[in-house]
Amino acid sequence: MTILVTGCAGFIGAHFVRQWLAAEGEPVVGLDRLSYAGNLASLFEAGRDARFHFERGDIGDAALVAALLRRHRPRAVVNFAAETHVDRSIHDAAPFLASNVEALFRLLEATRGHWAALAGADRDGFRFVHISTDEVFGSLGPGAAPFDESSRYAPSSPYSASKAAGDHLVRAWHRTFALPGIVAVLTNTYGPAQFPEKLIPLTILNAAAGRPLPLYGDGANVRDWLYVGDACAAIRAVLRRGRPGEFYCAGAHNERANRAVVEAICAILDRRAPRGGGRAHRDLIRCVADRPGHDRRYALATGKIERDLGWRPATEFASGLEATVAWYLANGDWSESARSGAYRAWMVPNYAERGPA
């Protein structure tokens, strides 16, 4: 048996492939169109593993997806493929609708055709796992209980609206066509080899280079930070034991204000890569104008996934952040290629000087 992983060369998708091969041993067919944030180098040793087969292409290419499904007959599809950066969606929403809604629709239809042709245990055991984000729920009030599977959808940005639409498609294809779809909702995920437009890698690389560290607004926006290894373990649990038609939220219990995260990175760099003249990295922080529609707080409850699937986050934020900073410092070639044209780096006009997502 095998599984099909779309968006396999992106941040979480690449980590998932590597973890899956190491922990489960089951072959993987990976599909990725290798956009600006997708790179096979992120797969590291998985790219040389005989159990991994890569195809370059778009999930919106129904003929390609159908051919892959016929050829490899996977028992599951895990969909990471998406446009994900909020700032980019504010600048131009069209690619987000094309990838996160229209292409997802075509992937669902191709998968439905494959699943409908299965019989017996193959049909009963098939799963379509779709990866979503806590941003579909909008902004969480101070002191409010974390979002959970019953929370109302209230997306604030073009990105989160496109992801919300995708979640509804997966749910509708289950309700209408009985496609065994499951949605895994993740909170903010971080770790090694994340494209440096997100808060943590962008801060690490800018601070290490002595560049200013732009921080949106007052820096008090709160996020719940989930280490990428824990995120992948949650998705594995959803694939193994999740029930079709269900949503599962994977949070980390690591709520931190953005300013606190940036200052923690600065403190690590003060130890690992000190600036000259005894200067502190935190002196590089610059508060800038906030971005439109910036949600104040995200957090996800984990009761359902812990109770039903036996998963819980294992990585404390301090140790995960330390490991992440160490990885970027030790992998300058990867980071440089990500920041240069070699990795198709692209900063959003009018937002490049303002800050990360």
Per residue in 223-282, pLDDT (tens digit) is 999 999 999 999 999 999 999 999 999 999 999 999 999 999 999 999 999 999 889 999
Instruction: Please state the pTM of the whole predicted model.
Output: 0.93
Q: Is residue 212 part of a domain?
A: no
pLDDT tens per residue across span 313-327: 999 999 999 999 999
Quick check: 191 pLDDT over 50?
yes
Distance CA 294, CA 288 (A): 13
Expressed as residue numbers, the domain containing 111 is 3-196+223-256+297-317
Reported in sequence order, the residue ranges of the chain that DSSP labels E, i.e. its strands, are: 3-6, 28-32, 52-56, 76-79, 127-133, 181-186, 188-190, 213-216, 222-227, 247-250, 255-257, 285-288
Environment class of 299 (CB within 10 Å of its CB; exposed 0-12, middle 13-18, buried 19+): buried
Q: What is the average per-residue pLDDT within 30-39?
A: 86
Strand duo 222-227 + 255-257: pairing: antiparallel
Quick check: 157 pLDDT over 50?
yes
Q: Is residue 39 part of a domain?
A: yes
As a whole-number percent, the residues of the chain with pLDDT over 70 amount to: 93
Q: Is residue 280 part of a domain?
A: no
Q: Is residue 353 part of a domain?
A: no
**What is the structure's pLDDT at 341?**
45
Q: What is the average per-residue pLDDT within 132-157?
A: 97
**What is the structure's pLDDT at 343?**
41
- Share the mean pLDDT of the chain: 92
**What is the structure's pLDDT at 339?**
64
**What is the structure's pLDDT at 334?**
81
Quick check: 352 pLDDT over 70?
no
Distance CA 48, CA 56 (A): 16
Q: Is residue 281 part of a domain?
A: no
Burial annotation 11-34 (CB, 10 A radius, 16+ → b, else e): bbbbbbbbbbbeeeeebbbbbbbe
**What is the structure's pLDDT at 344?**
41
Going by the DSSP 8-state scheme, the letter that residue 100 receives in this structure is I
Q: Is residue 9 part of a domain?
A: yes
**What is the structure's pLDDT at 47?**
64
Any catalytic annotation for residue 336? no
CATH of the domain at 38: 3.40.50.720
List the catalytic residue out of 32, 55, 87, 135.
Answer: 135
**What is the structure's pLDDT at 351?**
28
pLDDT bucket at 69, cuts 50 / 70 / 90: very high
Which of the residue ranges 26-40, 156-170, 191-205 would you say has the lowest mean pLDDT? 26-40
Looking up tokens 């801060």 gives 203
Q: Based on the structure, what is the number of domains in the chain?
A: 1
List the catalytic residue out of 32, 83, 87, 159.
Answer: 159
Q: Is residue 30 part of a domain?
A: yes
pLDDT tens per residue across span 76-115: 999 999 998 898 999 999 999 999 999 999 999 999 999 9
Any catalytic annotation for residue 159? yes
List the catalytic residue out of 134, 230, 263, 295.
Answer: 134
